[in-house]
Structure 1
Amino acid sequence: LDNISSQAAPGNPILVTHDLKEVVVAMNSTPIKDNDGQVIGTVIVLQDITEKQKIEQELLKAAKLDSLGILAGGVAHDFNNILAGILANLQLAAVKLKKHQDISKYMESSIAITRKASNLTKQLLTFAKGGDPVKKSADIAKLIRETVQFALSGSNVKAEFHLPEDLWVVDIDEGQIAQVINNLTINAEQAMLTGGILEFYGENIIFETADQYTPNHYVKITIKDHGIGIPAEIIHKIFDPFFTTKKTGNGLGLSTSHSIIKKHNGYFEVESAPGIGTTFYIILPASMNEVTLIESQKEIAASGEAKILLMDDEDSIRNVGGEMLSYFGYQVTLARGGQEAIDLYKRAKEIGEPFDMVIMDLTVPGGLGGIETMAVLRQIDPDIKAIISSGYASDPVMSDYERYGFSGVVIKPYKYEELIEVLNKVIDKKQLPLDFIY
């Protein structure tokens, strides 16, 4: 043996032979003792497991491809239903419009269905990348009710909510937590073959000692079904990627949910008894922010007549976005890409008519995206205020935007009231110093 390297897969060293061939080995050692029990040597046995590892990797790859195929089929089905709903609404709207009839309900329905498509793409991005959450303070009780009622639409399972009004606010990525609730709701529905009651409980709890949980204030959500339950011999596997007992399952739902809760610095637990049911516990840190969540349909109000530079390489998003912002009183200039945005910003500053805000797309194929453009603009104007926008919700920039010099973030597709709410906040926000960013 010429050399044994530790630069291998965790737990398995690599043996390098005299002809420089690398062999993955399993190593076992046994001490040699004399008659007095003193260790006088060691027997080391090395077993070549290179081929075994290759076979295991191929089997895992095949399992993943099979699961992804199932996932792709399910996604295609869901998207076809979404497109069918949008198409039906638009066709009805076109017919009604010709007869000068009100089409607002069809437009509103199309918007709602489009939001569903957005949530589906966010789930796919979480499956693919496990992105960091883009958090904001939220009313989790409201989120649970809306998500569950949508998931159980047309089902023979009824939801019962026991969510107190004084439940603490939490800092969460609403799309990701909705995905967790949706996954658990669908699992429960499938477990209750003849229907039944699905119970949701919420409570504020405080852990003061560092025993099982980090000391903090938490919101605990309990989701209890009365289905077939999970056998004791497999319950420890349910959070493993691609583990499933369903004929059409992909084994990604619970593993993804576990990952999401962990990235929210929370805890995800389960109890189950076959024939009685399963209970999941979601424990999330309470928000440190003083937030009053008001349920009202308020009018969108722009902050004065701010000058906005909107950069997006997609013509439809750029043009319609510009029209919408102009409608709400903003002065809008459009840019296709980063270099054009830099030129426009520089020119406006030189003539004494600077922009109050820049909205930038994160990714511009073949050109300067938001990060590269922002780096140049901050050299021109250290006090620039900019919002980063992208459909890649899992990109690290979206969850840590201030570190890249941005003052706000919006995730596509967004409602315009969401964008204007961010604009209003950012306009009054103080910019971070240049040396804060990478």
Structure 2
Amino acid sequence: MSNERMDTPVPKPSAEARLRSVLAKSRELGRVRPSQPPRRPALRPAVLERLLSLSRRMNRITRRDDLLAYLRDRLHELFEAQNSLVVLISRDGTLHLLGDEDGADVDHAISHTLIARVVTERRPVLVSDTARDRELHDRTSVQRLGLVSVLCAPLIVDDEVIGVLQFDHRSRPGPFTEEDLTVLELFAHQSATAIRNSLLVERLEAALDQTRTAQERLVATERLRALGEMAAAVAHDFNNMLASVIGLSDLILGAGRVAGADAKDLRALQNIALSGASTVGRLQEFAGGASGDDRATNLDLSVLVREVVDAVRHRLEPRADGPFWSVSLELTSTSPVRGRASEVRDVVLNLLLNAIDAMAQGGVVIIRTMERSGQVVLEVEDDGPGIPSETKHRVFEPFFTTKRDGHGLGLSTCWGVVHRMDGDIELQEPDAQGTRFVVSLPPAVLDIPSQGPEDADAAPVSARILMVDDEPMVRTVMGRMLERAGHSTVVACDGTEALSLLDDSFDLVITDYDMPDMNGAELASRIAATRPDCPVILLSGWNPGGGDCPIDGEGIDLVLRKPITTDRLAAAVRETLRDRS
């Protein structure tokens, strides 16, 4: 039994391996170009006109998929062949078919031997009768397909064979001529040029998309930063006003000067002011920073997610006549992240509540934690109606909301928290309907243990305190609040006056941060140089811990955010004096 040229069925991996070898040889051959192209017969004007018409049309198509579809649909216009197809070849040798055999099993729709010849020779091939061709006449694939006459040409882009055009007659010889070979050679060259141009367009569009996306992200970031700076300034002024309102109401209620309905109204007024302070606090969190007494620690993201979900279980309980929501947790063990626990909980809570609110009729929320590409990732996904395309670019803007009773600060606060942690938050579209928010955070580098719970044991009953603030109403109210807590208070309007008053009789200095000529941090540094034994509390309408108000300056023992209640101020004084004693 002869085994010299039998073409037996070959499994796909072997066929691909053989074609990869052929492609490698073809690339090597492509570096050596023939010194003189083969002579071709002159073409008739009608044929040239047909080629020109097809070429013009191809050159107007810029998208590769559209171009390949056009090639597939127009192959029949070139020759009167029984079958026509385009064989596309990837760099790893994988084949894909377009044309009459589109969708067929590639290994059963082509002759690998024939394709390999075209790829190797890198020129058109005309076989008038396969029965008389020494290489093809006994190949199993040729016999299986019934190939009799074949006309092929390679598609060469940047010296790389990316495909083969094939026309054939089966069962009987076809009228392919040398002129047909010349036509196909020209058409293949024009097709390859058009494909190359479409690839260049794709690369250019991809680069433009990347540039456009980067520009949009930069513009959005700068806009949010500008809004954050404006919000921080507004919040500072509001905090000073609210500090006076809350402090005065505290003093009036504490003195027992009102009772009955008047006391109830005053407490309602104080609660309204405290609610306003909470809103201002969210503004400041968006602008940058958190309260000074909430220090950054290493956090387990999965643990925080479980805590938040447990805290809102009551909202998820099914009701007989209402919607039902379920939360699916897909949590993995990840590296810790560095941040403030309260802030990260707020991010998870905001994203979870937004997902629940988006599904008015109920639905499923999936929360995932994982590590991906060197980042610790949090995903919150719902199967609600999704966010309209016209508002997606605005979801992180402060005060933008589509909820009737929303304040528009939830997602903007999330954005601020995540970016302060050197992370990123983005809105994605899941495979099905719904919305997916993805938070990416860098893993913590240092394992710095968090501070333990503070001991509330009593310190000295009474202390002599220097209260410094440039706002007359604020320093007066604060002074009275400290006296109500049992302390002796002296007030100063700025850092210069404070330094002139400071002597060994003072046990503590409480100073505003934002003051003319000398801010609170600078005053604390001067006090540390002359009275290192005197503790300093920094009290500010700015956001402690943000760029506007440092929490780790020299001589600063504690940073508090305005407005503050009498009880919280008294506790802060007690804790600071205790720590220094």
The TM-score with structure 2 as length reference comes to: 0.42
Name the amino acid aligned to 1:341: A
Q: Which residue of 1 aligns with 2:482?
A: 325
Shift of 1:368: 2.8
Matches of 2:434 and 2:348, distance apart in 1: 21
Matched, 1:172 2:333: no
Matches of 1:178 and 1:103, distance apart in 2: 38
Q: Number of aligned pairs?
A: 328
Matched, 1:121 2:280: yes
For residue 491 of structure 2, the aligned residue among 308, 319, 334 is 334
Change (3 A) 1:270 1:340: same
Matches of 1:169 and 1:103, distance apart in 2: 49
Alignment deviations for residues 55-112 of structure 1 (CA, whole Å, 9 cap, x no partner) = x99x969x959x97xx99xx99xx9xxx9xx9xxx9xx99xx9995255554444333
Rg (Cα) greater in structure: 2
Q: Which residue of 1 aligns with 2:554?
A: 404
Change (3 A) 1:247 1:169: closer
Name the amino acid aligned to 2:449: M
Q: Which residue of 1 aligns with 2:21?
A: none
Matched, 1:374 2:524: yes
Structure ranking higher in strand proportion: 1
For residue 360 of structure 1, the aligned residue among 496, 499, 511 is 511
SS in 1 for 2:490: strand
Name the amino acid aligned to 1:372: E
Change (3 A) 1:182 1:316: farther
For residue 229 of structure 1, the aligned residue among 386, 389, 395 is 386
Within-5 A mapping of 1:57-68: none
Shift of 1:392: 0.7
Change (3 A) 1:322 1:149: farther
Runs (5+) with no aligned partner, structure 1: 1-32, 38-52, 151-155, 215-219, 432-438
Within-5 A mapping of 1:196-275: 196=362, 212-213=374-375, 225-229=382-386, 254=411, 256-264=413-421, 272=430, 274-275=432-433
Matches of 1:267 and 1:301, distance apart in 2: 43
Shift of 1:388: 0.7
Aligned 8 A contact 1:360 1:389 in 2: yes
SS in 2 for 1:368: coil
Aligned 8 A contact 2:458 2:578 in 1: no
Q: Which residue of 2 aligns with 1:289?
A: 450
Q: Which residue of 1 aligns with 2:566?
A: 416
Within-5 A mapping of 1:70-109: 100-101=259-260, 103-109=262-268
Alignment deviations for residues 337-381 of structure 1 (CA, whole Å, 9 cap, x no partner) = 212211111xx32xxx2x1110000012x4432123223323321
Aligned 8 A contact 2:479 2:491 in 1: yes
Matches of 1:308 and 1:147, distance apart in 2: 43
Aligned 8 A contact 1:270 1:281 in 2: no
Deviates more, 1:420-429 or 1:247-256: 247-256
Matches of 2:265 and 2:311, distance apart in 1: 20
Shift of 1:334: 1.4
Matches of 2:368 and 2:283, distance apart in 1: 28
Shift of 1:318: 1.5
Matches of 1:224 and 1:189, distance apart in 2: 10
Shift of 1:401: 2.4
Change (3 A) 1:407 1:202: farther
Aligned 8 A contact 2:459 2:574 in 1: yes
Aligned 8 A contact 1:137 1:287 in 2: no
Aligned 8 A contact 1:126 1:394 in 2: no
Name the amino acid aligned to 1:288: P
Alignment deviations for residues 234-268 of structure 1 (CA, whole Å, 9 cap, x no partner) = 999788769x9969999985465134134346775
Matches of 1:106 and 1:161, distance apart in 2: 41
Change (3 A) 1:397 1:125: closer
SS in 2 for 1:375: helix
For residue 188 of structure 1, the aligned residue among 329, 332, 355 is 355
* Identity percentage of aligned residues: 23
Change (3 A) 1:147 1:323: farther
Name the amino acid aligned to 1:377: I
Structure with larger RCO (C-alpha < 8 A, sep 6+): 2
Change (3 A) 1:250 1:411: closer
Matches of 2:308 and 2:538, distance apart in 1: 25
Deviates more, 1:281-290 or 1:110-119: 281-290
Name the amino acid aligned to 2:450: N
Change (3 A) 1:324 1:145: farther
Q: Which residue of 1 aligns with 2:173?
A: none
Shift of 1:415: 2.7
Q: Which residue of 1 aligns with 2:131?
A: none
Matches of 1:342 and 1:269, distance apart in 2: 49
Alignment deviations for residues 180-209 of structure 1 (CA, whole Å, 9 cap, x no partner) = 4575366436523x3536869799x9x8xx
Matches of 2:533 and 2:258, distance apart in 1: 52
SS in 1 for 2:539: strand
Matches of 1:408 and 1:126, distance apart in 2: 19
Matches of 2:416 and 2:468, distance apart in 1: 33
Q: Which residue of 2 aligns with 1:306?
A: 463
Runs (5+) with no aligned partner, structure 2: 1-30, 36-157, 159-211, 298-302, 316-321, 330-335
Aligned 8 A contact 1:148 1:181 in 2: no
Name the amino acid aligned to 1:325: L
Matches of 1:340 and 1:144, distance apart in 2: 51
Matches of 2:448 and 2:269, distance apart in 1: 34
Shift of 1:288: 2.7
Give the root-mean-square deviation of aligned CA atoms: 6.0
Within-5 A mapping of 1:30-45: none
Structure ranking higher in helix proportion: 2
Name the amino acid aligned to 1:289: S
Deviates more, 1:406-415 or 1:394-403: 394-403
Aligned 8 A contact 1:148 1:182 in 2: no
